Chain A
């Protein structure tokens, strides 16, 4: 059973600080990695994708991928109250047509 693991949280971070969200995955062949944000009562929306080892930055967001350790993370700099949401890590199922989602980490930014 291929799995994507995330700490469920809640992760509480003061406004203006860096929020660090982590994810591990079991399928060594995975090639595509995603972070989705989901506000309460809303659908998931893509915020970052990463396909190669290293860091990828987009505004206040940085995704980090380490395939050797099967680890992907999301850093949110200068955290804002509007960043309070559940963050879903997703990984492609190599050799299959599906994406495997983690159960998500609830992030709470403290004003």
Chain B
């Protein structure tokens, strides 16, 4: 189906483990984004990508790594998970006129 998907939808991990969250879009949008959403903070941009092999930091990039080898995929990796990274993570892609479309989200718990 066309759209933007994220996997896994739910993830529980332990402090210090590496975790990768996947994002896939079928629209061939150039821009893709990773946000985290926490109570009291709203949506905060972690990383974004303007095209394959082009990525840039957002507001809260520390502890995260991204890559984009193909236009349709934009994985987010937590190199060594910490409890403060417990959050809901949203991937988005951007169509024409700056409109962003969000994936269903990944709820991550770090114990």
Contact with A along B24-55 (1 / 0, CB 8 A): 00000001010000001111010010100000
| A34, A92, A99 interface centre (most CB from chain B within 10 Å) | A99
A71 CB to closest chain B CB, in angstroms? 19
Which residue of B41, B90, B97, B98 is within 8 Å of A44 (Cβ)? B90
| A32, A45, A102, A103 interface centre (most CB from chain B within 10 Å) | A103
User: B50 contacts which chain A residues (CB < 8 A)?
Assistant: 97
The answer for the CA separation of A33 and B104 in the assembled complex, in Å, is 22
Binding site for A on B (CB under 8 A): 31, 33, 40-43, 45, 48, 50, 56, 58, 90, 94, 97-105
Q: Given A88-B42, A101-B43 in contact, is the A43-B48 Cβ separation under 8 Å?
A: no
Q: Give me 4 other A-B pairs in contact (C-beta within 8 A), A44-B90, A44-B102, A49-B97 excluded.
A: A51-B97, A97-B48, A103-B41, A104-B42
User: B42 contacts which chain A residues (CB < 8 A)?
Assistant: 88, 101-104
Q: Given A43-B90, A43-B105 in contact, is the A99-B41 Cβ separation under 8 Å?
A: no
Q: Say which size band chain A's interface belongs to.
A: 10 to 19
CB nearest to B107 among chain A residues: A41
User: B101 contacts which chain A residues (CB < 8 A)?
Assistant: 46
Interchain CB contact under 8 A, A43 and B56: no
Interchain CB contact under 8 A, B99 and A49: yes
A:75-111 near B, CB below 8 Å: 88, 90, 92, 97-99, 101-104
The answer for the CA separation of A103 and B39 in the assembled complex, in Å, is 9
The answer for the CA separation of A45 and B102 in the assembled complex, in Å, is 7
Q: Can you list 21 A-B pairs with a CB-CB distance of less than 8 A? A: A32-B97, A34-B99, A43-B102, A43-B104, A44-B43, A46-B100, A46-B101, A51-B97, A88-B42, A90-B100, A92-B98, A97-B31, A97-B48, A97-B50, A98-B45, A98-B48, A99-B98, A99-B100, A103-B40, A103-B42, A104-B42
The answer for the CA separation of A49 and B98 in the assembled complex, in Å, is 10
